[in-house]
Chains A and B, each alone.
Chain A
Amino acid sequence: MAEIIEKLITTDEIKTDEYLVNMGPQHPSTHGVLRLLVKLEGEIVHNVEPHIGYIHSGIEKMSEALSYPQIIHLTDRMDYLSAHMNNEAVCLCIEDALQVQVPERVKYIRTIIDELQRLASHQLWWCASGMDLGALTAFFYGLRDREDILDIFEETCGARLTLNYSVPGGVMFDIHPNFQAKVKAFIKKFRKILPEYDKLLTGNIIFQNRTKGVGILSKEDAIAYGVTGPTGRASGFSCDVRKHHPYSAYPYIKFDEKVGTDGDCFMRWKLRMDEMRESLNIIEQLIDNIPEGDYALKMKGVIKLPEGEFYQRVETARGEFGVYIVSDGKKNPYRVKYRSPGFSNLFAINHIAKKWKIADLVAIMATFDLVIPDIDR
């Protein structure tokens, strides 16, 4: 019987034609202006071709005409959900090039804001991918809790999304007197809320059926395609920059690098949930120990980097973010290249979405956590 069916569906008379569907640039599940040219046979995905560049803003070209402190303001327009990590990457790169040591206090503040930003980003990812899978209620839960972090940011530096908090040599302002109390209150509250997230979706049988075993990315493919961040770690690729190349206050603290095994959508989901818990642990270790001191070094009015090339990598919420600055000794860089995590991650989708259904493609995209300006730059 199975052979007859197999024969039937492969014969040319019955076989359906492939057809192309444009998912995007305006589509509810691409989270921005990403266009996927999907080749379908019925509901089965045969090929996914990402078309990007709809919001390519030429940040690399623009950076060549701006001075170093000005560049920082462009970086949080790339991955707006990990704005502070992007800022920090450029600042670290500049500090490394100038060979200045920032005060300990700065390192602690930066790391705490890093982790808060990661939490906020993962919360938004959680609620948006819940929505992609059809659970609309998740969206409101996530946004509600993200608000607390954004309030802390607002009090700290005045901005909620594009922080611009890091400057070369330190941070722009000292932390607000309420900062520590508010962060501690948030941690306490969020530890209670996280199990609620699990109750709503992770344990749900429909959710597990939709994600378990779907879109498996092997470890070899993850490395070959340069898939980093929680997405890569879910496949077993130990790529946490915080662990392998520690920066800021990460060398001082103990934390686990969560590495998964399965590489399917459910593992990616679970890994980010675990990462949120780990971020809470990191903040708890730091928040009471912020050393006294200056919040910024006194830097020169015009920052000029010595001639040479500098590369700095940090871990954003989406993966490894790299800044490659080529300097010719002037006040603006000769060439800046941003290695954005989303760019590499995106192109692995075609490899793993084949032979899955169109609904699975949405699940895969949801668990890849794409931010389009990060890809387009």
Chain B
Amino acid sequence: MTNEQLIEHLSAAFPDAVVKQGKQYPEITVSKEILHAFMKNLKSDTKLAFDYLVCESGVDYPAFIQVVYHIESTSLQHFLIVKCNTENRETAVLDTVMDIWPTAEFHEREIYDLLGITFNHHTDLRRLFLDDTWGHPLRKDFKDDIHVVER
């Protein structure tokens, strides 16, 4: 599917979600309530067949924390960026997608470690890189008096 067809198909299938053509790839923003059902649909829909989670990353914006999923279909060769925001900085919670794409288990552990986003129903949510004395370094309000010297 080309990007235009993909956008058309997605906006028809998910009227709630915001679909737009990004700088490179189609981007779709979904609310965290429907995230899991939406992702499941992306994989099971034979017209979309997104079976390969390329990358899952977390970004700390001033207003919200965002998780970005780069997903690709290996059979249909199209690429999509899915975004999901959570406004609650203290207890940022999203649904896990590890039951859809097993590789997400470790990407989500990394995000949990570095950005402090908790994933519901994740079977093994532990810190991946750092030990428990650390905060969540990729948050913009992270302060580390010991290791980081402010210039």
Interface residues of A (CB under 8 A from B): 52-53, 56, 58, 60-61, 96-97, 221, 223-226, 237-239, 244, 308-311, 313, 320, 322, 324, 326, 334-335, 337, 339, 343-344, 347, 351, 376
Contacts and interface: CB of A to CB of B under 8 A. Distances in A.
14 contacts: A52-B128, A53-B130, A60-B138, A97-B23, A221-B102, A223-B74, A224-B51, A226-B52, A226-B54, A238-B74, A244-B77, A310-B23, A311-B24, A335-B57
Interface in B96-151: 101-103, 105-106, 110, 114, 128-130, 137-138
A53 B137 contact: no
Interface in B32-71: 51-55, 57, 59-60, 68, 70
Contact of B57 (A97, A226, A239, A337): A337
Contact of A322 (B55, B74, B77, B102): B55
A56 B101 contact: no
Interface centre among A53, A320, A376 (most CB of B within 10 A): A53
Contacts of A344: 103, 106
Contacts of B101: 224, 226
B106 A223 contact: no
Q: How large is the interface on B (under 10, 10 to 19, 20 to 34, 35 or more residues)?
A: 20 to 34
Contacts of B103: 224-226, 344, 347
B22 interface: yes
A347 B105 contact: yes
A324 B70 contact: yes
A348 to B, nearest CB: 8
B14 to A, nearest CB: 21
A335 B23 contact: no
Q: Which 9 pairs, one residue from A and one from B, show the smallest C-beta to C-beta distance? A: A53-B129, A339-B55, A337-B57, A226-B103, A56-B129, A347-B106, A335-B59, A225-B103, A224-B102
Contacts of A97: 23
